[in-house]
Amino acid sequence: MVSTVKKSDFDEMRPGIKTPSKETLLTPRFYTTDFDEIAKMDISVNEDELQAILEEFRADYNQKHFVRDAEFEQSWDHIDGESRRLFVEFLERSCTAEFSGFLLYKELGRRLKKTSPLLAECFNLMSRDEARHAGFLNKAMSDFNLSLDLGFLTKSRKYTFFKPKFIFYATYLSEKIGYWRYITIYRHLEQHPEDRIYPIFRFFENWCQDENRHGDFFDAMMRAVPETLNDWKARLWCRFFLLSVFATMYLNDLQRSGFYEAIGLNARDYDRHVIEKTNETAGRVFPIVLDVKNPEFYNRLETCVQHNEKLSEISQSNAPKPLQLLQKLPHFASMGWNLVKLYFMKPITMEQGVVR
């Protein structure tokens, strides 16, 4: 039987290799950090917990989980048009985010090998998990006749430098938000199997446990270095990272609500649930969380969504670039203003803070 290979809706660098999406403020980033500073950290106050987490990583519960079964072996040409575009985009973004974790953890594992063997092994085992996740997603892309050249991505992407404590806040949150994203989709599709348009979602239940363990590692790491949590600067930065992670996800997902619709979810409700849960989880370690139940929180985010829509309309218009920039300015300004107001909303102080 001759399979029908559809012409791709995407730009390809080589046949079947998708040109990576353009980097914007809202695309997944690649990180680097000050490895020596981490090597010098004294983690002795929480070493027992980190050791226990390492034992969990070693147990490798998902060693045999990421194996493609017979359900993948069929044509996916019936997912077409806009749904196909959104679906491939979802796979690409997820794969890039997982791969970004792999690169950072791998490098941390390598650089800390001599000075901090416990941390090095934790990072190596987390990079093992992220490699599996990224590989599984990339293989899924090949079901749509595309894949990412991860070697090319490694060399061509810009790396954002973050001081170690910012890496801890950002990766902690991205692991925990990843957990809530995967588990929420999984639980929804468990209730509505008719919306499970592709088998990858079946893997999310065990998969998200990897992300949860990774998040727990950073939780333990921050408590091992209490100055990341217990002063006024920590409170300001935790607010900043919570807001950045929530706002980025909200703007991204609402721009792609068609994807969530295709699996029977309302992007808005889904995101609000994920934000509420992640905020709640973060409260177990962060000294402060956001007041996401205050109506002002979503009112302002919705204003940002509207401006974001206008910005993409302008980008897609035929107007010359300088004119586009001029048209975009008021939207950037208002979005910026709303984000500043969101940042200064009264947060919720967690009484238990560092002590648990």
**Site mask, Fe ion, residues 203-222, x = CB under 5 A?**
--------x--x--------
Contact 324, 315 (CB under 8 A): yes
Total of chain residues touching Fe ion, rule CB under 5 A: 6
**Site mask, Fe ion, residues 233-262, x = CB under 5 A?**
------------------------------
CB of 255 to Fe ion, least distance (A): 23
Residue 315 CB coordination number (10 Å): 13
Q: Which of 133, 188, 196, 223 binds Fe ion (CB under 5 A)?
A: 133
Please identify, among the stretches 126-134, 151-159, 308-316, 341-349, the one whose residues bind Fe ion according to the rule CB under 5 A: 126-134
Q: Which of 50, 87, 98, 220 binds Fe ion (CB under 5 A)?
A: 98
Q: Which two tokens stand for residue 5?
A: 């290979």
Residues whose CB falls within 8 Å of the CB of residue 49, separated by 6 or more in sequence, listed in order: 220, 223, 224
User: How far is Cα of residue 90 from the mean position of the Cα atoms in its chain?
Assistant: 11
How many Å apart are CA 84 and CA 81, to the nearest integer? 5
CB of 148 to Fe ion, least distance (A): 15
Q: 16's torsion region: left (phi>0), alpha (psi -120 to 50) or beta?
A: left
Identity of the residue, 210 or 292, whose beta carbon is nearer to Fe ion in the bound complex:
210
Residues 306-345 that bind Fe ion (CB under 5 A): none
Secondary structure element (H or E) that encloses residue 31, with its range:
strand 30-32
How many Å apart are CA 106 and CA 121, to the nearest integer? 10
Identity of the residue, 212 or 338, whose beta carbon is nearer to Fe ion in the bound complex:
212
CB of 130 to Fe ion, least distance (A): 5
Q: Amino acid letter at 101?
A: G
Please identify, among the stretches 19-27, 131-139, 186-194, 312-320, the one whose residues bind Fe ion according to the rule CB under 5 A: 131-139
Identity of the residue, 132 or 223, whose beta carbon is nearer to Fe ion in the bound complex:
132
DSSP assignment, residue 286? Answer: S
Identity of the residue, 204 or 297, whose beta carbon is nearer to Fe ion in the bound complex:
204
Identity of the residue, 53 or 288, whose beta carbon is nearer to Fe ion in the bound complex:
53
Angle ∠(344,277,257) on CA atoms, nearest 5: 85
User: Beta partners for 18?
Assistant: 12
Residues 168-187 that bind Fe ion (CB under 5 A): 175
Identity of the residue, 214 or 223, whose beta carbon is nearer to Fe ion in the bound complex:
214
Tell me whether strands 12-14 and 17-18 are parallel, antiparallel or unpaired. antiparallel
Which residues of the shown chain bind Fe ion in the complex (CB under 5 A)? Answer: 98, 130, 133, 175, 211, 214
